[in-house]
Amino acid sequence: MESLHPYHNLEIPDDAAFELKPTPDKGWGIFATRDIEPGEIILIEQPLFVVPDLDLGRSLEDEIRELVEELHDDDKEQFFSLRRNGDAPFESLEEAFMSNRFTQSGTDYPGDEALLLLMSRFNHSCAPNAELPVSHRLHNVDPEDTYMLSMRAIPAGSEITFSYDMVVSFLTRDERGLALPFDCNCDACQVDDPDVVYVSDLRRTLLRGLDCLTNLRQARGSECVLETDPRHIIADPSLRAAAANFDIPHSSRFIYYLMMPCILEAEGILSVYNAETYDRNLRIYAKQFRTQRNALVARWVMELDGWANRFCVALGLWNRADAADQQLAACMRENFGFQDTGSSAGAPQDESVITPIIEEVD
């Protein structure tokens, strides 16, 4: 019976803004019990136990058993409450751990794998409303703890979700079906309107292209998930070569990078933290212009409110060379440890695949 389900024994903080309950088609999930503000801390969780430097090539059953035996009785009970998708018990301790583990990439111990009881109860969504930050830490959070932040406002009664793999932000719906190890039934993947799906797929494909244009050699790897060449997302060979050699003009890089939060916002997957990161980096980019006119336009852009407003004004920089272009390209090649082969530019930028979207603005 549902009322006797062991998940009722999982300890939820008294001040938590959520509850754990069954969902119609995803087992159990976490739901907001009050309105949650954008950027609010939803949960800070200390691992039940940690496996340092997890080696997936060896058996973990004995190691997990030893770690579980070291737990206090109450914590053991919490661990043995875990169920496969909220239903049947796990067949082994290793299976229970592997199904509820979190890489500690967002903590001070990135090589560790932690068993997180409550974090594991949040379901996946390809258009999530919460996130587990991996590239920044809150000062008041223990170095070993994992925490979740709301990406945007979450109304009371809504399910709280996060993306199990942020790479899916750059994949179309069909591509996500190939990349995820389960059939996703989130709102983004269950849309019936083909026009809505088409527009969403265009946005996410463009995000992947912009990610490669701004930094092809360090792109997030969505193409690796699909086992395709990441360079093929940029159709223009000369533009692809310029991106690979960090020879994208600074004005173009500024516009490409600014387009990303615009698209993420339109797609509903721009988090508060990521918006702050884009804003901070764009302000750095704006200060790097050395040609006076470009610097004035960039400064004006950063004084505006709203990503779309900023983007429209930034178009005034399109195809504008800047006195800092060569120096910035050389600096990026050096920072990433690539041999400086000189400029690979030479093809006119107005032949790029982005040109039909962005027109010259005088």
pLDDT for 216? 65
pLDDT for 287? 96
Give the pair of three-digit tokens for residue 183.
């059939």
Cβ within 8 Å of residue 233, ≥6 positions away: 205, 208, 209, 212, 223
pLDDT for 27? 82
Cβ within 8 Å of residue 240, ≥6 positions away: 216, 231, 234
Cβ within 8 Å of residue 52, ≥6 positions away: 109, 111, 112
pTM of the model: 0.82
**Average pLDDT for runs of 10 along the chain of length 362:** 77 94 86 96 92 69 90 93 83 91 72 89 94 73 85 96 88 91 90 95 92 68 46 77 87 95 94 92 96 96 96 94 93 75 43 32 30
- Neighbour tally for 311: CB within 10 Å: 18
- The domain ranges of the chain are 2-164, 194-351
d(CA 123, CA 135): 21
Its CATH architecture, for the domain 2-164, is Beta Complex (2.170)
Cite the beta strand spans of 122-230 per DSSP E.
123-124, 130-131, 146-150, 161-162
Residue pair 256/210 in contact by the 8 Å Cβ criterion:
yes
